[in-house]
Copies of this chain bind each other. A is one copy, B any other.
């Protein structure tokens, strides 16, 4: 955390101001680069690999959209307000803070009021009497134009995918299953945002909605490609079974080939991010835990210093969304399945990924204190995810070494993410590069001026080799290709 803030990965928004609202963070230069590379990997290993289509929709959407989606009715948290000082609390958190007891998020309001009464709970700020509990909708409302049309900032990116589905399917001459993907910001007016990137009011999602014919969940053209993927599945939130996709299907851990295939492509993607897959699991959710629209649900979770962290919600949403939008808009959103010419309202399986949390998990799993080498701190990021691929360091700032280093830097900087550093001892400069996860450090020394070679030092092994300047680009390109 401290490293991430000090080294420009991320930091709180509006921090120079006293009225900076909680739950808003910004990516600094290192964070932007890491995030962009994470997104590029997601595009290559999920979107393009599966032949999905990607869209980019508006963040502000009309009221009707959220009437149809159920968010205006259902997307709320219980709150309680002090009648004396006006302080407002999220009820479940308040009760657990005051009594040590956990209560379910979906408890009806009258049961909440009974708990408050039984435990004689008072306002924790002024000891005043608490009012009745009520619901606080977590969408941000915005008013459009001088006539104040009611609209909302989307609480999830997927609604534009549902609303646009039919147009995309037709203009792009889609087949089923068809994945439609989107990356963008979503907004939730959390009552108690957590610190750092874990519970934000404004956050990045990468969502994929797979539209499918519900009668064909077991006929999938590319299934075999991923049938031997390793999946770690937990049905009770405690133990984990490690199986191949095929075994999981046969043993009944996975409901059908479609779900099995997309969980596998997701696992395969994360195995390339540097997250330690032994510390991950697909947790199958019970009936009480699933979102209101989901009939099958797995959470992809990663073990971190703050416990198990949900990175991706995988929900079988059936035709809940298309049916809802169809009803409210009075449009028939059915399409023709080209494989058998039947007219159907597709079902949807979704992979809803939190990007900020994924970045957090990657940073934590990459963090390494090297006790064998002066406790140096190393971020062991994959070369294709590292914010900076290569540092360029003149050994000393004289004898023409800076000038030569600048020339090498100029040649590399448009194709690769580079960092030029000429201040401080060479050892200190290596440490600085290791802390932001730079895989390679090029050192320019006296020999460089003689034979046009430099030393390239590897971050993890600390080994150095001499390489001709003319071969640097090829060397760096190759490092980006290996996964």
- A331 at interface, CB cutoff 8 A: yes
A25 to chain B: which residues have CB within 8 Å? 58
A56 to chain B: which residues have CB within 8 Å? 26-27, 31-32, 35
**Residue pair A189, B31 in contact (C-beta under 8 Å):** no
Pick the contact of A147: B28, B86, B163 (CB < 8 A).
B86
- Interface of A, secondary structure class, is mixed
A64 to chain B: which residues have CB within 8 Å? 14, 17-19
Pick the contact of A28: B32, B86, B171 (CB < 8 A).
B171
**Residue pair A17, B55 in contact (C-beta under 8 Å):** no
- A168 at interface, CB cutoff 8 A: yes
Q: Which A residues have a C-beta under 8 Å from some C-beta of B?
A: 6-8, 11, 13-22, 24-29, 31-33, 35, 44-45, 48-49, 51, 53-65, 79, 81, 86, 88, 136, 140-147, 149, 151, 153, 160, 163-164, 166-168, 171-173, 185, 187, 189-191, 201-202, 325, 328-329, 331, 333, 413-415, 417, 423
CB-CB under 8 A for A17 and B167, given A60-B24, A136-B146, A185-B185: no
A328 to chain B minimum Cβ distance, whole angstroms, is 8
8 contacting pairs across A/B (C-beta < 8 A) = A15-B167, A18-B329, A28-B55, A28-B167, A60-B202, A136-B146, A145-B189, A145-B191
A8 to chain B: which residues have CB within 8 Å? 168, 171-172
**Residue pair B27, A55 in contact (C-beta under 8 Å):** yes
**Residue pair B21, A144 in contact (C-beta under 8 Å):** yes
A7 to chain B: which residues have CB within 8 Å? 171
CB-CB under 8 A for A79 and B13, given A6-B171, A32-B56: no
**Residue pair A57, B26 in contact (C-beta under 8 Å):** yes
**Residue pair B32, A413 in contact (C-beta under 8 Å):** no
Pick the contact of A14: B44, B86, B163 (CB < 8 A).
B163
Query: Cα distance A57–B325 when bound, in Å?
Result: 33
A81 to chain B: which residues have CB within 8 Å? 146
A60 to chain B minimum Cβ distance, whole angstroms, is 6
A48 to chain B: which residues have CB within 8 Å? 413-414, 417
Pick the contact of A201: B60, B171, B414 (CB < 8 A).
B60
**Residue pair B144, A142 in contact (C-beta under 8 Å):** no
A14 to chain B: which residues have CB within 8 Å? 58, 61-62, 64-65, 163
A161 to chain B minimum Cβ distance, whole angstroms, is 10
A7, A18, A151: most-surrounded residue (chain B CB, <10 A): A151
A168 to chain B: which residues have CB within 8 Å? 8, 28-29
Query: Cα distance A171–B79 when bound, in Å?
Result: 40
A2 to chain B minimum Cβ distance, whole angstroms, is 12
**Residue pair B62, A17 in contact (C-beta under 8 Å):** yes
Other A-B pairs, 11, CB within 8 Å; known A11-B167, A26-B57, A60-B201? A13-B57, A21-B145, A26-B160, A28-B168, A28-B172, A29-B55, A48-B417, A59-B185, A60-B187, A141-B143, A144-B189
A199 to chain B minimum Cβ distance, whole angstroms, is 13
A390 to chain B minimum Cβ distance, whole angstroms, is 13
A21 to chain B: which residues have CB within 8 Å? 60, 62, 144-145, 149, 151
**Residue pair A79, B146 in contact (C-beta under 8 Å):** yes
